[in-house]
Amino acid sequence: MLRKKKIWIALCFLCAVFIMGLLLKSSSQTYHEQSLVPFMDKILAGKPLEGLLSHVSFVYANEEVSIANLGYSKFLEFFIRKGAHFFTYFVMGASLFAGVRGLFGKNWSAFLVALPVPLLFAISDEIHQKFTGGRTPLVQDVVLDFTGACIGTLVCFWLLNVLRKRRIEKLG
């Protein structure tokens, strides 16, 4: 049992480190190096759902996000990129929480690591982007990243508590 727990903890931390490496590599690339627009222009040439999505318009970081302003593919790419922000930090927060909770068995210590680490990483990642061509550091992205980490941490907290209660009921 102890061996499985150690493997679980190691996997949690490896997952968080892998995500951080992935994010560091991604923020080292220019926008054009990682743009999905040319690929999306090819596979979505018929512009499916354009009629439905053309009514969507909002402001993000003082820029209008709409098909009229960005074009169809870049509009869709916006959601893919922001979804990737949220998802990677969701996984990072959950992995750190699970790893630290596995190490110390306490929720408070897990929250003390699982929340500040992704926040500091998100801030440093946006600063790093400032020095990468064609990239813009955004406070809004830090907020989105931290929200992903918070929700990932809370989902992991909830899930681990549900599993713990089921294990106790099974034994009791």
Task: Evaluate whether residue 48 is within a structural domain.
Answer: no
The reported pLDDT for the residue numbered 126 is 95
Tokens 């049992």 — which residue? 1
Task: Evaluate whether residue 54 is within a structural domain.
Answer: no
Domain tally, the chain: 1
Does residue 172 carry a pLDDT above 80? no
Percent of the chain surpassing pLDDT 90: 81
Rounded distance between C-alpha atoms, residue 53 and residue 3, angstroms:
51
The tokens describing 169, both together, are: 């009921």
By residue count, the chain amounts to 172
CA 21 to chain centre: 13
The model's pTM: 0.92
Rounded distance between C-alpha atoms, residue 70 and residue 82, angstroms:
15
Which CA distances in Å does 31 have to 1, 2, 26? 46, 45, 9
Confirm if 145 and 93 have CB atoms less than 8 A apart. Answer: no
Task: Evaluate whether residue 69 is within a structural domain.
Answer: no
Does residue 133 carry a pLDDT above 70? yes
Task: Evaluate whether residue 113 is within a structural domain.
Answer: yes
Task: Evaluate whether residue 31 is within a structural domain.
Answer: yes
Strand partners, 65: 58
Confirm if 57 and 68 have CB atoms less than 8 A apart. Answer: yes
Rounded distance between C-alpha atoms, residue 126 and residue 166, angstroms:
41
Task: Evaluate whether residue 62 is within a structural domain.
Answer: no
The reported pLDDT for the residue numbered 15 is 98
Region 128-144: mean pLDDT is 92
Does residue 152 carry a pLDDT above 70? yes
Helix (H, G, I), strand (E, B) or coil at 62: coil
Task: Evaluate whether residue 49 is within a structural domain.
Answer: no
Region 101-123: mean pLDDT is 93
Encode pLDDT of 37-53 as tens digits: 999 999 999 999 999 99
Closest CA to 20 of 72, 77, 104, 93: 93
- Full domain range(s) for residue 101: 2-37+78-171
Task: Evaluate whether residue 155 is within a structural domain.
Answer: yes
